[in-house]
Structure formats: C-alpha cells, structure tokens
Amino acid sequence: MGSCVMTERVASLTSEASVAKVRFGQALQRVRKSVGMNGTELAKLINRSQSHVSKIETGRIDVDELELQLLIDALSPSEEDRANLLTLHALIRTPEDNYRYIDAAGIDLKQKEILEYEKRAARVEEFEIGFVPGLLQTRLYSTSILQWWNLDRDRIDSTVETRIRRQDILRDTRRKFVFILPESVLYTVVGTRKIQAEQLQWIHTVMGHPNVRVGIVPSVAGLPPTALSGFVIYNGSFVTCETVASEQVFRDRKDLNWFAKVHATLCERALFDDNARQLIQRAIDHFSTVKQATA
C-alpha cells in the first residue's frame, strides 16, 4: 500500500474495469426478477430492445443517468434496492484510482496489479509516510492493516497471501530496492505491540539482502514539506502515489523529476545500514520495555 491514479491496467487485469458494470447488471437483474418482470417487459417500459436490457444485465454496455432513472421508474424497487443500484452505478462512473472502486473490484486484485509493476522493474524506490511498505510487511502486520478496511476474513487472507508472494521478488539480486521511512513509522502500532516488534525484527532481517536498502529519517531531521504522501518510483519511468482516497500514476518527465528530487532529499536526511539498524533496535527495545512494564 503506497501512493497515486492508475491510468494503465496490466494485461492480466484488463477485466477489472468492467467489474462495476457487471455488478450493476447483476443487481438490476435480481431486482427485475424480484418484482416478477421479464427482460422483454422491462425493455418495453424503457423503450429499448430485449437484447439491450440483456447487455446491461451482463455488463456489456454502460447505462447513463437518464437510462438509470428510466430503469428505476420502471421497476419501482424498494428503497434498499434503489440505494444499492444507485451506489453500484456510481462505481461505474468512479475513476479506477478511487478506493471505493478498488474496494468493490477487490483489494486483492490491486495487490496483483502492484506485483506486475514490481516484476517489470529493475529498480524500485519507495517512500511510505504512515506504515511499513508492503514488500517489507510480515503476515500479521499486513493482516492488522487490512482489518482497518473492514474486509471479510476471506478477502483479507487472499490479499495477504498475494502481498506475501510479492516479497519473493526481494530475493532477485538483479533488482534493487530502496525503502525510506520516517522514524515515526517504527512506533506506529497497527495491531499489537508484539506484532509491531516482530515487524521491526523482520525489517532487520530483510536489510541483510545485498540488493535492499532501508533508510530511516530520524524525527529530529524531519521530513521535507514536499513529502506529503507515500510514493513508489519504478525504474525512474513512472510513479505511483497514494492519498487517503485515491491512487495516481505519473509519467510526465517533469513530474518524475519532481519525485526524484523529493526522494533524493529523503535519502539525504535518512540514516542507512548500521545507523538505521540502531534506530530500529531502539524501537524494538521500546516495545520490549513497554511489555515488561505492563507484565
């Protein structure tokens, strides 16, 4: 989980763009059947052909605002069904970078998309402002984060499994990874103190990989004012950047240069290698001390 708007979908996920239309069509069909109406009857009421209604219900064509109102008027659904249809239709019109869309399409699919980005990159430079990057997360830490999304257990497990599989790429020494974190992330508990301590220990372990560098920006150094949200630079050719509500992708050279400058500033302020390990160990000791004090 990271940073910005997706303007390109990897080939394996091209069907994701139609998820909202399919779900809207399925919901429309359920409502139609619940009121005892067949497709031909509905088509006549909205002055369309039966094949047109069929295409809507199978997600093959879009529905504009006017046609949506015609469908609702013709079906006279319950308030609950009406609200559901309006919500699903809104998701069709919601850009794919918006997290309402991501949640509806499946957050596990988003993880697979990120995996494809990482597979194609020889160099990945990531800055995270609020939590440990996905490529460095333990299973329990990742699960704790996803629980904040109020997902059901199956979706959490599926997403975590995909995220853990993503980490295999760290063993490929042909690729280079640079992760920058503010010191505050070391103390931001997303699950329990034990989970946080184990997560920090795992970062210690991953830092042993020759192709992985982890930098910690000390609190006393502070973050530059331009580091407003997390971002990932892939091969210096495009950047993904997350905000609270959406994700963006940047490819324009001016934007890439701007992110490269921010990343360079972060690297200048960060501590690496043994100095970074000392900061991480201090945080681990903190959680151990807290545990002992409360025992």
**Cβ neighbours, 10 Å, residue 259:** 22
Phi-psi category of 89—alpha, beta or left, where left has phi over 0 and alpha has psi -120 to 50? alpha
Q: Which of 1-15, 82-96, 175-189 has the highest mean pLDDT?
A: 175-189
**Strand order across the 231-234 sheet:** 212-217, 176-182, 123-127, 231-234, 238-242, 247-250
Comparing 8-22, 104-118, 199-213, which segment has the lowest mean pLDDT? 8-22
Instruction: Look at residue 291 and tell me whether its pLDDT is greater than 60.
Output: no
Of residues 105 and 267, which shows the higher confidence score?
267
Of residues 262 and 115, which shows the higher confidence score?
262
Instruction: Look at residue 160 and tell me whether its pLDDT is greater than 80.
Output: yes
pLDDT digits 0-9 by tens, 181-211: 999 999 999 999 999 999 999 999 999 999 9
Placement of tokens 């957050």 in the chain:
107
Instruction: Look at residue 154 and tell me whether its pLDDT is greater than 90.
Output: no
- Cα–Cα distance for residue pair 102/110, rounded to 1 Å: 7
Instruction: Look at residue 9 and tell me whether its pLDDT is greater than 90.
Output: no
Comparing 93-107, 130-144, 162-176, which segment has the lowest mean pLDDT? 93-107
Instruction: Look at residue 102 and tell me whether its pLDDT is greater than 80.
Output: no
- Cα–Cα distance for residue pair 175/169, rounded to 1 Å: 8
pLDDT average, residue stretch 48-53: 92
pLDDT for 16 equals: 43
Instruction: Look at residue 69 and tell me whether its pLDDT is greater than 90.
Output: no
Cβ atoms of residues 229 and 242 within 8 Å: yes
pLDDT band at 275 (very low <50, low <70, confident <90, very high): very high
CATH 3.30.1050.10 assigned to domain 17-101? The reply is no
- Cα–Cα distance for residue pair 267/269, rounded to 1 Å: 5
Q: Which two tokens stand for residue 199?
A: 């997560």
Q: Which two tokens stand for residue 195?
A: 């989970």
**Cβ neighbours, 10 Å, residue 85:** 21
DSSP 165-228: HHGGGGG-TTSEEEEEEEHHHHH--SS-HHHHHHHHHHHHHHTTSTTEEEEEE-TTT---TT--
pLDDT for 125 equals: 97
Instruction: Look at residue 236 and tell me whether its pLDDT is greater than 90.
Output: no
pLDDT average, residue stretch 46-66: 88
User: Whose CA is closest to 67, among 25, 33, 37, 96?
Assistant: 25
HSE (CB half, 13 Å, CA atoms) of 6? 23
pLDDT for 163 equals: 87
Instruction: Look at residue 137 and tell me whether its pLDDT is greater than 60.
Output: yes
pLDDT for 107 equals: 56
Domain 106-294 class in CATH: alpha beta
Placement of tokens 């998701």 in the chain:
91
pLDDT for 110 equals: 63
Give the domain ranges of the chain: 17-101, 106-294
